[in-house]
Amino acid sequence: MHDDRTGQVAAIFVSFRNGADMIGYAEAAAAMDALAAAQPGYRGVDSAREADGMGITVSYWADDAAAIAWRDNAEHAAIRERGRALWYDRYSVTIARVERGYAWARP
């Protein structure tokens, strides 16, 4: 399960993929996962994708400055532009501060 994320900044990325260049997308997604994990202030990620192409990825950051630094990372910005040109029909990003969280797991 997840660590307590209280106080962290959550970047919520809701995307709608169009199915183009699935191999290129998978490679870029793996590269961005690794790049994000290497950024100062990175605290983790949760992600899910439906068969119809709708996906939600939530990345967690120590603070606003870390989340903004990720947004402004040059490699991330280049992949974001590639996504707009090729992989996504649309997406939205919402930034939120985690006030509290809960977890449950089957024993």
pTM as predicted:
0.90
What residue has token string 């949760």?
46
Q: Give the pLDDT mean for 54-83.
A: 97
Residue 27 is encoded by which pair of tokens? 């490679």
Q: In this model, does residue 1 exceed pLDDT 70?
A: no
Q: What are phi and psi of 43, to 5 degrees?
A: -125, -5
* Bridge partners for 61 per DSSP: 9, 42
Residue-wise pLDDT for 81-91, tens only, equals 999 999 999 99
